[in-house]
Amino acid sequence: MNAAKRASWLAPALLTPAACGTLGAQEQPALIAAHTEQSRAELTRVVSAAFNGQPVTLADDALTRESVLTIERRTPPGPQGRAATGRTLDEPQRFDLVLRTGRCLLVRADGREWELTEARCVPAATVAR
């Protein structure tokens, strides 16, 4: 095979991995632009569903400044009603807010995802900090 034919055969092969790598570019970290009562309720409902319906407490500005949400299990109350001493051995759960092809998704570290339809999400890179 001469050098010209070899070069023309290699060019598409070299470009293919780059093209495949750009598919991930459609997903980007996101922030909730402005919480509404509906978007807060939806976020709380979705995170609670991720914990099999267990109640969760979220900050009012959750996912408005960072695209990562970390949830730690609450320390169970002791006999007097105050938090029991000792350590909670459960690992915190991480969720990432992403925009993928115009959809606002909350993605848990294990890959499970939930779409947020009430929240207006924007790319995190476009928000001045």
Distance (Å, rounded) from C-alpha 99 to C-alpha 95?
13
Contacts of 107 (CB under 8 A, 6+ apart): 95, 96, 97, 98, 113
* pLDDT value of residue 56: 92
Strand partners, 83: 77
* pLDDT value of residue 42: 96
* pLDDT value of residue 61: 92
Contacts of 84 (CB under 8 A, 6+ apart): 75, 76, 77, 78
* pLDDT value of residue 23: 35
* Structure token digits, residue 99: 């925009």
* pLDDT value of residue 9: 41
- Over the chain (129 residues), the average pLDDT of each successive run of 10 is 46 37 68 93 96 92 95 70 61 94 95 95 80
* pLDDT value of residue 34: 87
